[in-house]
Structures are given as structure tokens and as C-alpha cells.
């Protein structure tokens, strides 16, 4: 295999030399060329240095033959100007990276976009601007004349906002559009007066990218190339938390106007928040050490009375915390340790399950790490005799790929199943009832392809007839993937992809959905965590479109 790859690269390298003759000022449009990258003339004033550094490291990791293949595929377009000067209209970052790299050969490969060498300078630059072949703003966003352009890639300015635009594009905040020259510069100018950070601080840059990704979904950015026009927009964006939202749950009482969204603020100085349907914070339980995920259950008997509860994992103290709804008053005694307090298995995911036949209440918990088998723990929740909650370990079950972690867990109480995201691997399905036949046998593994990286939040849109959707967050793609809740005809454990839905929420880590009619949401709503310390409320009608009401 190695010999085959070597020979393939050798053939491609030889082909590049044969198909890309040395640059000449008389080459016609469409002709290929090869030229020392340092002899190409920029058509922009600046570059994003972070992109240059990233691409230089990429080139350094290649063999010389592989570098030639890589550069040939990049195909840098050139317009030949007055005096036979080669002006590059794209590829500035790639070729500056080549120059900065340790690669011994600094040859650029491309094609002639146009030969306008017979034009005078004024006519040439006017034509360049009309065709969007030049970007005449400097690193501060100020317009300058073309005769001020740098004569070489080595003397260009560094523009932090151009780095920011590249970071946002890499994070899929907007889509790269091939053939649209200077796309990232226009996004950089959009962000220039809106996002500030210390560019010497890598963590600050990462935070700036997240903030800019949120701005990239705003209507103000709609005119820019690559704007995610198909992304579904939320009806409501909640008030922000102090640190970092993670996972939401829904509490829906008989008076549905009083519905609350319960969400976590994931930090050492964390909290549990309750929001109303307008996105306003109405209750807060603070002092929690990195609460991760949260779920809601109805009618747990405490002190002889049914109590609705919210359960969250308190990751840094290796325990669960339980609060009465709607006030978020604690009903535990701080002693609900999970995984025997093992710090390597710090609790993250949580889901609640009420068994229909006897009303028994259970909680499923997933951790930061765990064994290849028995990753999840299922506990029974009961009154400890004092009106507080106690729990008893019932079983440990569930396969784990070992790739990342298991955080997102969801229970379909109506059909009797529990699902969880084995991040970067797929979604797994088991029986929720620990007393079901073969309860520890995996029933399905699906959603194994088509995700950018992490499989995250899971929620279940349940119709009364047993149909509906399993909704899984494709986190780094800023979208959700939908699978049939009921499986396929005759195969209840087959869950093929139905469709994907892009949303304005950025890197959604957790979500919850209901089919219940709520004020302003006649066929239900989906709540999704988003970068920006907020949650988004989506109408099911907007989210699912023509499939809003279902059978």
C-alpha cells in the first residue's frame, strides 16, 4: 500500500511539472502556470495570521511530493496585468503558508484567469474591481488605492478580524463558497466593530469565534456570501446565564401558560435556571458545582404527596441534586453520590423514567468516562422517610466505544426505551425497564455516519399513536438529525435518517422537545442550548415545516 501511494504521488508530481509550464506574460486565459510563490503579487492588503500558521503546520506535516499535489489542487488563479505582472486573486494564505513552511519547493501552481496586460493601469484596476478580483481595504478596514497594494506576500499586514472570519468559517458559522473571492474579508468587516478580544490569547480567540458565530446567524448578516439562509430561526432567545448553558428540560403543568424551561449553567459557580415562555428567568438555584444535564419528572411521592422534580448532575461533587418544581427548592440531602464517587466517572448525562405499570421512578446517569460495558447506571428514586429523596442502584448497563463520553440521554417512556449518544460514534438503544426481558441487550445502534463530530442532545417528539421523531444534535454542524421514533414497518429498532434541519443555534449541546400545544406553539416546541449563554425556543411548525402536525 505504501509503495502504491508513493508511486501515485510520484505520478501526480510529474504530471504537475508537465501540465503547468513556467509562467509567461503572454499566457492566455485558461492556461496553466507554475511560478515561485514569492513572485506573485497580492490583490489584498492583509491576511489572517492564524490561518497562515495553521496551514504552514499542515504543509510541514507533508512529504515534498504531497505538498506538490496539495498545491496543484489549490490552483491559484492569476490575472496578468500591465507589464506582464501576475496578480493572484485567491490563495494568499495558502502561498504565504508555503513560504513560511519548511517545504523546500516554493512553487505555486494555478491557471490564468485573464490576461489584461495590454490595459493601462487605471482601466486594469477598474476592471479588477468590477470583477471582484481585488479587495482594496487594509487591516483596519480603510479603503486604499491599488497602487498601495504590497508587492509581495511577504510584506502584507496582519488582520485579526480576517483570522476571526476564518475561525468562524471553520466552525461552520457561515459556509465557504468556492469561486467567491475575498469572502472572508467581507465577513471580517462585518465583525470588525462588533467583536473585541485579545488576539494574543488563544482562549480569548476561541470565545470570539463563538460570539461571532452567533452574530453570523443574525438577519444583519443575511447579505453576506455563505450566510446560512436555510437555518431555522428561534421564536425566543432566553436571557443569558452567567457562564455557559448546557442542557434544557421542560416542565409542563396543567396550566400550560405556566410552562417552564429548566436549564443548567455549567460552571464551578454554576446554577439551575427556570425560564418562562418569554425566555425570562423566573427562578434560580445557585451554588452548584458544574451542573451538567437536567431532566424533569412528575409525581414523585414525597411525604405522602406527589411532587414534580428536576434532577441535575453536579459534576464536580460526583452526585445528583434534586429540586421541587416550579420553585427549584432542594428535596435531597446532598448525599446522592453516583458511581461511588469515582472522579474519573464524574456525572454528566441524566434522564428520568416513570414506569407506567407501577409508577416507579428511575434516573439514568452517564459519566465523563466508564467501562466498555456497564457505562450507564440506573437508580430508583424514593422517599427516604423524611420527605427527601433517596436512591438505590438497580443496574449498570450499556456499551461504550471508548471514543469520547456519554452525556446525552433520553427516555421514551411511552414505548419503553432509553437512548444515549456515544459521542462521535452513534446512538444506542436499550429497554428502559430494568425488569424487561433481556433488558441489558442493545436493541439498536444508529446515527453512526453524517455527523461533523459529536452526537449530542437527544429529545423525542412523541405523538399519541406511537409515531414521532428521535432528534439528535449534530453539534458542530449546527443542525439536528431526525430519525423515526417508531422504527420502520416491521422493524421497530431500525432508525434510518429521515432529514436534517439546520438551526440558528450554534453548537447545541442539549435539547428538549414536546408535542404538547403551548401558548404560541400549537404543535409543540423545541428548546436548544446555543453558544452565547442562552437557550433558543423553536416552534415545531417552523422546525418541521409541512410535517408540523403529523397524524
Both 245 and 144 in one domain: the answer is no
177-179-185 Cα angle (round to 5): 65
Question: What number of CA atoms fall less than 13 Å from residue 456's CA on the CB side?
Answer: 26
Q: What is the mean pLDDT of residues 26-34?
A: 98
Identify whether the C-beta of residue 239 lies closer than 8 Å to the C-beta of residue 275. Answer: yes
What was the pLDDT predicted at 547?
65
Residues 261 and 406 reside in one and the same domain? yes
The answer to whether position 479 is within a domain reads no
For range 34-42, the mean pLDDT? 98
Q: Do residues 168 and 185 make contact, with C-beta atoms less than 8 angstroms apart?
A: no
Is residue 194 a part of any domain in this protein? no
* Res 551: pLDDT: 39
Mean pLDDT for 513-528 is: 97
**pLDDT(12) > 50:** no
Please state the rounded mean pLDDT for residues 430-440: 97
Contacts of 223 (CB under 8 A, 6+ apart): none
Torsion of CA 190, 196, 200, 204, to 10 degrees: -100
Beta strands in 218-265 (DSSP E): 236-237, 245-251, 260-265
Judgement on whether residues 151 and 261 belong to the same structural domain of the protein: no
Q: Give Cα 316 distance to the centre of its chain.
A: 25
Q: What is the pLDDT of residues 358-397, one digit of tens each?
A: 999 999 999 999 999 999 999 999 999 999 999 999 999 9
499-502 and 479-484 strand pairing? antiparallel
Indicate if 275 and 393 belong to the same structural domain.
yes
Question: Per the domain annotation, does 218 fall within a domain?
Answer: no
Domain end residue (candidates: 116, 142, 158): 158
- DSSP-based three-state secondary structure for 105: coil
Type and span of the H or E element at 56: helix 49-60
pLDDT of residue 10: 47
Q: Is 213 among the domain residues?
A: no
- Residue 390 falls inside a structural domain: yes
Is residue 402 a part of any domain in this protein?
yes
pLDDT > 90 fraction of the chain, expressed in percent and rounded: 95
- pTM metric for this prediction: 0.88
Q: What is the CATH number for 254? A: 2.120.10.30
Host domain of residue 64: 2-158
Question: Would you state the pLDDT for residue 14?
Answer: 57
Residue corresponding to grid cell 514569492 = 38
How far does Cα 152 stand from its chain's mean position? 37
* pLDDT category of residue 109 using cuts at 50, 70 and 90: very high
Taking only the tens place, the pLDDT of each residue in 172-187 is 999 999 889 999 999 9
How large is the C-alpha radius of gyration of the chain? 28
Judged against a pLDDT cut of 80, whether residue 549 lies above it is answered with no
Q: Is 296 helix (H, G, I), strand (E, B) or coil?
A: strand
- Count of structural domains, the chain: 2
The total of other beta-carbon atoms located within 10 Å of residue 181's CB is 20
Residue 13 has pLDDT above 60, yes or no: no
- Residue 388, in any domain of the structure: yes
Q: Are residues 42 and 153 in the same domain?
A: yes
Q: How many C-beta neighbours within 10 Å does residue 316 have?
A: 17
189 occurs within a structural domain:
no
Residue 18's pLDDT band, with cuts at 50, 70 and 90, is: confident
Tens of pLDDT, residue by residue over 231-290, are 999 999 999 999 999 999 999 999 999 999 999 999 999 999 999 999 999 999 999 999
Is residue 546 classed exposed, middle or buried when 0-12, 13-18 and 19+ CB atoms within 10 A define those classes? exposed
Amino acid at each position: 500500500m505504501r509503495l502504491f501511494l508513493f508511486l501515485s504521488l510520484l505520478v501526480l508530481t510529474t504530471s504537475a511539472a508537465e501540465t503547468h509550464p513556467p509562467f509567461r506574460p503572454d499566457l492566455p486565459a485558461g492556461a496553466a502556470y507554475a511560478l515561485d510563490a514569492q513572485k506573485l503579487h497580492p490583490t489584498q492588503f492583509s491576511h489572517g495570521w492564524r490561518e497562515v500558521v495553521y496551514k504552514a503546520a499542515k504543509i510541514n506535516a507533508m512529504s515534498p511530493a504531497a505538498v506538490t499535489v496539495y498545491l496543484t489542487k489549490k490552483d491559484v488563479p492569476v490575472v496578468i496585468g500591465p507589464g506582464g505582472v501576475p496578480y493572484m486573486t485567491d490563495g494568499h494564505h495558502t502561498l504565504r503558508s508555503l513560504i513560511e513552511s519548511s517545504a523546500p519547493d516554493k512553487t505555486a501552481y494555478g491557471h490564468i484567469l485573464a490576461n489584461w496586460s495590454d490595459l493601462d493601469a487605471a482601466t486594469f484596476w477598474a476592471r479588477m474591481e468590477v470583477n471582484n478580483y481585488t479587495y482594496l481595504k487594509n487591516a483596519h478596514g480603510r479603503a486604499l488605492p491599488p497602487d498601495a497594494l504590497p508587492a509581495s506576500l511577504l510584506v502584507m499586514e496582519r488582520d485579526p478580524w480576517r483570522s476571526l472570519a476564518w475561525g468562524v468559517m471553520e466552525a461552520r458559522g457561515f459556509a465557504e463558497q468556492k469561486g467567491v473571492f475575498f469572502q472572508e474579508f467581507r465577513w471580517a468587516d462585518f465583525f470588525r466593530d462588533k467583536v473585541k478580544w485579545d488576539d494574543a490569547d488563544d482562549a480569548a480567540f476561541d470565545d470570539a469565534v463563538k460570539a461571532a458565530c452567533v452574530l453570523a446567524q443574525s438577519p444583519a448578516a443575511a447579505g453576506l456570501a455563505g450566510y446560512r439562509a436555510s437555518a431555522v430561526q428561534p421564536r425566543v432567545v432566553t436571557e443569558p446565564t452567567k457562564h455557559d448553558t448546557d442542557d434544557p428540560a421542560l416542565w409542563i403543568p396543567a396550566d400550560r401558560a405556566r410552562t417552564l424551561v429548566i436549564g443548567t449553567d455549567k460552571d464551578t459557580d454554576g446554577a439551575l435556571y427556570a425560564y418562562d415562555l418569554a425566555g425570562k428567568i423566573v427562578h434560580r438555584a445557585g451554588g452548584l458545582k458544574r451542573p451538567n444535564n437536567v431532566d424533569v419528572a412528575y409525581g414523585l411521592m414525597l411525604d405522602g404527596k406527589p411532587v414534580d422534580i428536576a434532577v441535575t448532575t453536579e459534576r464536580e461533587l460526583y452526585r445528583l441534586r434534586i429540586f421541587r418544581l416550579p420553585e427549584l427548592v432542594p428535596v435531597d440531602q446532598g448525599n446522592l453520590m453516583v458511581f461511588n464517587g469515582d472522579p474519573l466517572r464524574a456525572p454528566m448525562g441524566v434522564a428520568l423514567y416513570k414506569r407506567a405499570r407501577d409508577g416507579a421512578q428511575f434516573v439514568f446517569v452517564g459519566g465523563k468516562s466508564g467501562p466498555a460495558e456497564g457505562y450507564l447506571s440506573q437508580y430508583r428514586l424514593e422517599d427516604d422517610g423524611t420527605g427527601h429523596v433517596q436512591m438505590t442502584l438497580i443496574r449498570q448497563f450499556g456499551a461504550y466505544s471508548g471514543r469520547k463520553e456519554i452525556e446525552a440521554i433520553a427516555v421514551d417512556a411511552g414505548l419503553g426505551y432509553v437512548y444515549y449518544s456515544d459521542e462521535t460514534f452513534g446512538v444506542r438503544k436499550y429497554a428502559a425497564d430494568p425488569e424487561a426481558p433481556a433488558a441489558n441487550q442493545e436493541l439498536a445502534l444508529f446515527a453512526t455516519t453524517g455527523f461533523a463530530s459529536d452526537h449530542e442532545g437527544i429529545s423525542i417528539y412523541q405523538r399519541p399513536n406511537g409515531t414521532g421523531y428521535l432528534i439528535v444534535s449534530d453539534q458542530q454542524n449546527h443542525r439536528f438529525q431526525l430519525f423515526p421514533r417508531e422504527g420502520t414497518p416491521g422493524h421497530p429498532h431500525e432508525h434510518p435518517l429521515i432529514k436534517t434541519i439546520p438551526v440558528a443555534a450554534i453548537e447545541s449541546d442539549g435539547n428538549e422537545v414536546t408535542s404538547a400545544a403551548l401558548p404560541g406553539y400549537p404543535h409543540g416546541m423545541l428548546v436548544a442550548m446555543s453558544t452565547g449563554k442562552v437557550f433558543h425556543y423553536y416552534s415545531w411548525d417552523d422546525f418541521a415545516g409541512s410535517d408540523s402536525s403529523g397524524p
